[in-house]
Structure 1
Amino acid sequence: MMQPKKTKFRRAHKGRIKGNTKGGSALNFGQFGLKALEPNRVNAREIEAARRAITREMKRQGRVWIRIFPDVPVSQKPVEVRMGKGKGAVEFWAARVAPGRIMFEIDGVPETVARESLRLGAAKLSVRTKIVARIEGL
């Protein structure tokens, strides 16, 4: 499971994801990518499940880049616990994803395989996505 080795603070505020992504909206590595269309938190398990689905469909050919990292600790209090007594323990790690963010990139496989593997990966994520391709000859 992905999570940071070390953080400055143990727990984080919830925050809001407003506006479009500040950076990471262009394909930098591969020919095809998976772009987020809505703001949400994507947890580490979803990222890993999507990665597995993508690499399995590609039959471990080509290359996959994961452009997001779960660096936000999400805390939850146990069930049926009264109010107060501090913030809950860290339950999972998540990545904040804003609209326009490229989450995965792949290269080295034919377009049909690439689109199908990204479609299967997108099914594992809690954000609506679209598949984008690099435009050649510009």
Structure 2
Amino acid sequence: MFTNIAKTKSNLQLIFNRFKHEYAPRFREVEKAQKGRVSVRTGGSIKGNTLEFGKIGLRLKSCGLRMSANQLLAADKVLRRELRPTKSKLFTRFVCDLAVCIKGNQTRMGKGKGPFDHWATRMPTGKVLFEIDGAIHDKVAREALRKAADKLPGLYEIITPESKVRVSMTDLIEKPKPVDYVAKLNANPSKKWSNIQTFKTDPIYRLYSGR
């Protein structure tokens, strides 16, 4: 009985620690990571550079940088305070999963990286941070995003679904049309794709599948 009570207390303590910070990931163990560099998208990738859930959003315009969870939390509080009367929805497009470890000043070299200090995330150029959706006036949404941008390092721009896609600090392109890869494969199927379709449609294969 006492063992079960002790286990329950330990589980409650674990849950309390996991949800202590709003932007802290739900990791049971903190894995130390190297500082690394913010990725520069040289291959034409536009992942995360356009709106997906809202009608207006905030996008990084300047060089990519590393942001701490406390900086992003300050911007989040500003947005929620401004959007509370309008009952609008706020979407975040980032995850603070980078563990930053810091050693004290005037410390001898060696003996590891130092203890865990805070969570952070890497933001490449053109990444959308926040999106707003709901019955909100355009001027109110733009003013809320402007106040949130003042809390963050770097330069930002306010975008809409009609905005062009940012691929670098200086270049913008039109949003490409979505590609139907299934229809493309059906028009010119490979040997592997043909075998998959045959396995799905032929009853003799379905008869012996899962054995």
Q: Do structure 1's residue 14 and structure 2's residue 35 form an aligned pair?
A: yes
Return the index of the structure with the highest Cα Rg. 2
Runs of 4+ residues over 6 Å off in structure 1: none
**Structure (1 or 2) with the greater strand fraction:** 1
Residue of structure 2 in register with 1:53 after alignment:
78
SS at match of 1:53: helix
**Structure 1 residue 9 displacement after superposition:** 6.2
More off after superposition, 118-127 vs 15-24: 15-24
Residue of structure 1 in register with 2:193 after alignment:
none
Q: Which has the higher contact order (CA 8 A, sep 6+)?
A: 1
- Structure 2's unaligned 5+ residue stretches are 1-20, 164-211
SS at match of 2:140: helix
Deviations 1:22-71 (A, max 9, x none): 51111000011110122011111111111110111223421100111101
Provide TM-score, normalisation by structure 2.
0.60
Q: Do structure 1's residue 106 and structure 2's residue 132 form an aligned pair?
A: yes
Q: Do structure 1's residue 39 and structure 2's residue 64 form an aligned pair?
A: yes
For the Cα contact (< 8 Å) 2:30–2:99, is it kept in 1?
no
For the Cα contact (< 8 Å) 1:33–1:131, is it kept in 2?
yes
Provide TM-score, normalisation by structure 1.
0.90
SS at match of 2:84: coil
Residue of structure 2 in register with 1:119 after alignment:
146
More off after superposition, 45-54 vs 58-67: 58-67
SS at match of 1:58: helix
**Structure 1 residue 7 displacement after superposition:** 6.6
What is the number of equivalent residue pairs in this alignment? 136
Q: Percent identity?
A: 35
**Structure 1 residue 117 displacement after superposition:** 0.2
Residue of structure 2 in register with 1:3 after alignment:
24
- Structure 1's unaligned 5+ residue stretches are none
SS at match of 1:59: helix
For the Cα contact (< 8 Å) 1:73–1:94, is it kept in 2?
yes
Separation in 2, partners of 1:114, 1:24 = 20
**Structure 1 residue 86 displacement after superposition:** 1.1
More off after superposition, 109-118 vs 126-135: 126-135
